[in-house]
Structure 1
Amino acid sequence: MNRWFAATTAAALTGLSVIASPAAAAQNCGGPDEPAAIRFAFAQLPFEPLTGAKWDPTPVASNYDPCATLSTILVTVEGATGSSPVQALMFHHGEFVGTGTAKAHGFTSLDADASSDDTVVLTYKTPDESTVRYRWHDDRVVMLDPAPSAE
């Protein structure tokens, strides 16, 4: 009886540790973990065009989820200040699908509360303080609101 209890307890604990592991969760969805997703995206992006600076691999903000229909990781440049350009890296089930805008904007933030499984909401503190929703539609990201104005 004690062997059965020990074996059952060990199996239950093993099952719990696998479920609780972020790496295991990423594998279940097929997408990479966040650091690997950032590395893959950076391999496809040029340096920030205005400054020529490399992108910093430490996220400014993120709702990255390899299981989500659409999620994002906000990154800035190495050695950034508060007004440095921020770019939104977009992911569909953990696969990098491009950036939110062609040009990075300073003072960009993620509205995680307004975002959902298939929608990412970003606020751009441009002269017109725009909130832009991005949604996964069919096979691509669609910008639902007007693009942020130039700074």
Structure 2
Amino acid sequence: MFTPRVFAAAALLCFPLIACSTPEEAQASPVVCEAGNAQAAFNDNIAQIPQWNGHNWKVVDSSHFDPCAELSWQTISIEGGTASSPHHIMLFHYGQYLGTATAEPYGFFPSVERVNGNEISVTYHWPQEGDANAAPTGETHAGFRWDEAQHKVIMSGDVPPVS
């Protein structure tokens, strides 16, 4: 006999298991995203980024980390740094760490904007000749796009010149 109590027990057993649905139903289900923890994402992956001249990295902007986005990011800089200290952009695909946007960090806080769900635009700032270090006027622009077919991020544009 299928009583409400037995039905409830069966539902609780099936709830955490994908096996209770057919493979077709599981494939048709949308991705379920949980609230992301940007600090945990940083902590879990920071060891993959080498220290910079003996300095550890710290998060300076985690507001764009989104475990439900094709491409999201966090901006990091060195502990005890200044405005011109190096910065990296940590990239994530559905919350999974991909690596930094560029192999080398660049000085000054980059301006990063979302273009769409799988692409960001970065403006790097750098001092031109005669600029005060606190007011750089040089800019270069780069784009970073998640390419689903290649399963990687594709960069376009430029980074600051080597000084």
- Do Structure 1 and Structure 2 share a fold, with TM-score over 0.5? yes
Distance 1:53 1:80, change over 3 A: same
Q: Which residue of 1 aligns with 2:116?
A: 116
Q: Which residue of 1 aligns with 2:71?
A: 70
**Which structure shows the higher helix fraction?**
1
Deviation (angstroms), 1:32? 4.4
Q: Which residue of 2 aligns with 1:36?
A: 40
**Count of aligned residue pairs for this structure pair:** 121
Residue pair 1:60, 1:76 contacting (<8 A) in 2 also = no
Aligned equivalent of 1:133, options 143, 146, 151: 143
Q: TM-score, normalised by structure 2?
A: 0.66
**Which structure shows the higher strand fraction?**
2
Residue pair 1:30, 1:93 contacting (<8 A) in 2 also = no
* Counterpart secondary structure, 2:144: strand
Deviation (angstroms), 1:31? 7.8
For 1:95 and 1:33, how far apart are their aligned partners in 2?
Answer: 12
Q: TM-score, normalised by structure 1?
A: 0.71
Structure 1 unaligned residues grouped into runs of 5+: 1-26
For 2:93 and 2:101, how far apart are their aligned partners in 1?
Answer: 13
Deviation (angstroms), 1:94? 0.5
Deviation (angstroms), 1:109? 1.8
Deviation (angstroms), 1:117? 1.1
What letter is aligned with 1:146?
Answer: D
* Counterpart secondary structure, 1:73: strand
Q: Which residue of 2 aligns with 1:150?
A: 162
Deviation (angstroms), 1:108? 3.3
Distance 1:97 1:80, change over 3 A: same
Coordinate RMSD, CA, aligned: 2.1
Distance 1:144 1:30, change over 3 A: farther
Q: Which has the higher contact order (CA 8 A, sep 6+)?
A: 1
